[in-house]
Amino acid sequence: MKQNDQLDEIDRRIVRELQRDASLSHAALAEKVGASSASVWRRVRNLETNGVLGRAVRLANAEHLDRSVNVLCQVRMTRQTMTARAEFEEFIRLREEIVECYAMSGEWDYLLRIAVRDVADYDRFVMRGVLAHPSVANAASNFALRQVKYTTEIPV
């Protein structure tokens, strides 16, 4: 049975509310979901233990942090060995500019979302970082003109 099938309606409400505002106190969360504070505390701990809920974070505004340019970069590897992929993925984890990375099926091997200050910043990053990596054959970049939708909320 999938984890989601084991969630009752109160668990689902808890997950929805915490995705919207992780700073809610247990008392405030209990009021929103219609349960006691003690019950909510136990349920939240259980959801964390079972991996349904991860760590609580605050979302930062990229414009206020001078990282408003989003680039979607597709990467093709020179070789598909486990070692080459592991080395590239370690490189990805170490670069703060790369805020998302997906291993892909199809023509490209990886899709990166990179947050940079401007086009020159991206040029330096891609030329000295991504394309300089020994496992990378080539890359194609697309610059986001504007953000139409962004959410971290997973439907529950």
pLDDT tens digits, 103-130: 999 999 999 999 999 999 999 999 999 9
Q: Assess if residue 55 is contained within a domain.
A: no
In a domain, 62, yes or no: no
59 inside domain = no
CATH number, residue 91: 3.30.70.920
The pLDDT of residue 1: 32
The domain in which residue 39 lies consists of: 7-49
Same domain, 76 and 123: yes
Q: Indicate whether 108 belongs to any domain.
A: yes
Q: Is residue 88 part of a domain?
A: yes
Identify whether residues 105 and 135 lie together within a single domain. yes
Give the global pTM: 0.87
User: Is residue 150 situated within a structural domain?
Assistant: no
C-alpha of 5 from chain center: 24
Between CA 46 and CA 40 the distance in angstroms is: 10
Q: What is the pLDDT of residue 6?
A: 87
| 133, 92 contact by CB (below 8 A) | no
Place of tokens 């598909």: 80
- Determine, yes or no, domain membership for 100: yes
Output DSSP code: residue 153.
P
User: Do 78 and 117 sit in the same domain of this protein?
Assistant: yes
Number of domains within the chain: 2
Q: Running DSSP on this structure, what letter comes out for residue 83?
A: H
Same domain, 35 and 93: no
Q: Is the pLDDT of residue 5 over 90?
A: no
Q: 83 and 40 in one domain?
A: no
44 vs 63: CA distance, rounded Å: 33
Q: How far apart, in Å, are the Cα atoms of 50 and each of 3, 19, 46, 54, 127?
A: 8, 16, 6, 10, 41
Q: Give me the torsion for CA of 86, 71, 104, 48, rounded to 10°.
A: 70
CATH number of the domain at 17, please. 1.10.10.10
